[in-house]
RNA sequence: GGAGAGAUGGCUGAGUGGUCGAAAGCUGGUGACUCGAAAUCACUUGUGGGUUUAUAGCUCACCGGGGGUUCGAAUCCCCCUCUCUCCGCCA
């Protein structure tokens, strides 16, 4: 969440910044300011009363020791009690309301983020490798894989419904190879491999920003009050929740492979065919916990780490800076990596690398002790090493041959012995 | 799922109604000693909020979470969560 001190001290700056995302947010800032004012006033009253009560109670203790009568003092305090508990209720109510409001305010945007309304205003900053030319009629990954018996969408929808898939034989193996390949590269780049829980409590999702605002995107297990993770970012960032790190522990690099579960509410009709948009997909994730001073350098490095995977797989891609209107709720700045999908004749998102600055750190209460001994919030970053399912799509389509086979990228040779599948 | 034990500051661990924000030890910090270091000694070392120009002072809250009893709760009562041990079940 945004710092309330910052809202209080510089409301105009906050409003101006948030209005780059959405004009309506500035009204909410006004609401928060008003509540904050009220809250502080009430707290002041409350604490004065409590101070009086505490002093008198202390006196009673002393008097009783001396065997003196204290009934008068006790009566005085009894009169305070109702006022105190009434004020306590008021303060608690204001704080709950204020908290709920502020948890729904998105992060402030970094100054280098371009202004824009939607995804069309994102800016391309880099392109890697020429798009492939085919001297035959290409197939999309879905047709190709179904015809080869590598994917069974029909059976999957019978078992689980739409947007699920069954990968078979060589394609299932290719998926596993990709996961291992990404994890191995990430470990080479200094990331610690984590195997996290896939079911988490609401506090974890509040910590990373999916809750309270995006509940409808999440699968929820009613009986146990647990959510299926929409990304490994959630458990990874929460590994350090409620902790005070030593400055020399930073930066921390984590990587994890997990399935990701998303309801895709509001995506009706989008990417109906194929593996592009599924309710369940595998992803290898990168998370960094860093010092605030170095988080933007770390973001560049994180992006490079994700790009390296595509470069090694020899897949054409481009890098986009997301504009202010398209950037995610928790992020201050985001790069998307888009891979070339021949059948769609366009680039599609395959990784998203973000610096959340201290937005998640505040929510998850992740701090470090700086050299002066002061506790400060860390910065958190996350990025897809790559979304495995979409990488699979990109490989199938970009590496397809005239006779409907798929060439295995060179770097995967140590995971898959065949030349083609 | 059944039976029992427990949850206290960065860590270990005292504390069963009043001067306890909390003993003691460890860790960390500062200083003394030393050429320097170790050892030793002295002092010091929690978090968040309110007020404030202030990292000063004053003040409030916090001893797993929530509620209650009381003038007063780490301490008593109720509920919940989590951890540990044993039994059962189970990949």
Residue ranges per structural domain of chain A = 4-102, 119-412
Which residues of A spanning 77-106 put their CB closer than 7 angstroms to strand B? 77-78, 81, 92
- 3-state DSSP assignment of residue A227: strand
| CA–C1' A288–B38 (A) | 38
A221 CB neighbours strand B below 7 A: no
Question: Domain A119-412 belongs to what topology?
Answer: BirA Bifunctional Protein; domain 2 (3.30.930)
Q: Is this complex's ipTM strictly greater than 0.95?
A: no
Q: Give the per-residue pLDDT at A80.
A: 86
Residue nearest to nucleotide B61 (CA to C1'): A47
Structure tokens at A325: 């209107």
**Considering Cα of A48, then A53, then A58, then A62, what sign does the dihedral take?**
positive
| CA–C1' A84–B59 (A) | 16
Residue nearest to nucleotide B50 (CA to C1'): A44
Fold equal for A4-102 and A119-412:
no
Architecture, CATH, for domain A4-102? Orthogonal Bundle (1.10)
SS3 content of chain A, % helix, strand, coil (to 5): 45, 20, 35
Residues of A tagged active-site: 262, 277, 349, 352, 390
* Distance between CA atoms of residues A209 and A321, nearest Å: 21
Q: What is the pLDDT along chain A (421 residues), one digit of tens a residue?
A: 899 999 999 999 999 999 999 989 999 999 999 999 999 999 999 999 998 998 888 888 888 877 788 788 888 888 888 889 889 889 988 988 898 899 999 999 999 999 999 999 999 999 999 999 999 999 999 999 999 999 999 999 999 999 999 999 999 999 999 999 999 999 999 999 999 999 998 889 999 999 989 999 999 988 788 899 999 999 999 988 888 888 888 899 999 999 999 999 888 888 989 999 999 999 999 999 999 999 999 999 999 999 999 999 999 999 999 999 999 999 999 999 999 999 999 999 999 999 999 999 999 888 888 877 788 899 999 999 999 999 999 999 999 999 999 999 999 999 999 999 9
A420: which strand partners? Answer: A407
A74 CB neighbours strand B below 7 A: yes
User: Cα–Cα distances in Å, from A402 out to A132, A139, A212?
Assistant: 13, 9, 49
Q: Which nucleotides of B are covered by protein (CB under 7 A)?
A: 10, 18-19, 47-51, 55, 59-61, 67, 71-72
């Amino acid at each position: 969440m945004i710092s309330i001190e910052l809202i209080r001290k510089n409301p105009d700056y906050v409003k101006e910044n948030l209005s780059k995302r959405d004009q309506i947010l500035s009204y909410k800032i006004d609401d928060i300011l008003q509540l904050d004012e009220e809250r502080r006033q009430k707290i002041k009253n409350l604490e004065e009363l409590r101070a009086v009560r505490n002093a008198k109670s202390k006196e009673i203790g002393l008097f009783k020791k001396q065997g003196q009568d204290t009934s008068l003092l006790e009566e005085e305090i009894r009169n305070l009690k109702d006022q105190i508990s009434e004020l306590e209720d008021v303060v608690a109510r204001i704080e709950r309301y204020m908290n709920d409001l502020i948890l729904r305010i998105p992060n402030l945007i970094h100054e280098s983020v371009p202004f824009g309304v939607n995804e069309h205003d994102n800016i391309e900053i880099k392109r890697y490798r020429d798009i492939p030319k085919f001297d035959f009629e290409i197939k999309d990954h879905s047709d190709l894989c179904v015809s080869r018996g590598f994917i069974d969408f029909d059976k999957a929808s019978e078992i689980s419904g739409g947007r699920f898939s069954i990968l078979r034989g060589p394609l299932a193996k290719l998926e596993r190879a990709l996961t291992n390949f990404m994890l191995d590269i990430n470990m080479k780049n200094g990331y610690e491999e984590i195997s996290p829980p896939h079911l988490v409590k609401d506090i974890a999702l509040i910590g990373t920003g999916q809750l309270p605002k995006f509940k409808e995107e999440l699968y929820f297990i009613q009986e146990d009050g647990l959510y299926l993770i929409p990304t490994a970012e959630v458990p990874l960032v929460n590994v350090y929740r409620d902790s005070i790190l030593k400055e020399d522990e930073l930066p921390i690099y984590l990587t994890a492979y997990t399935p990701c579960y998303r309801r895709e509410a509001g995506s009706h009709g989008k990417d109906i065919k194929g593996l592009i948009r599924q309710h369940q997909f595998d992803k290898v994730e990168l998370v960094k916990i860093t010092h605030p001073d170095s988080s933007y350098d770390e973001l560049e490095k994180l992006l490079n780490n994700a790009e390296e995977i595509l470069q090694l797989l020899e897949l054409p891609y481009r890098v986009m800076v997301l504009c202010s209107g398209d950037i995610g709720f928790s992020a201050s700045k985001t790069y998307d990596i888009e891979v070339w999908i021949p059948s769609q004749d366009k680039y599609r998102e395959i990784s998203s690398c973000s610096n959340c600055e201290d937005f998640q750190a505040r929510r998850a209460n992740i701090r470090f002790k700086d050299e002066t001994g002061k506790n400060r919030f860390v910065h958190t970053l996350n990025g897809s090493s790559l979304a495995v399912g979409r990488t699979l799509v990109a490989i199938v389509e970009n590496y397809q041959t005239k006779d409907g086979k798929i060439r295995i990228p060179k770097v995967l040779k140590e995971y898959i012995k065949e030349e083609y599948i």
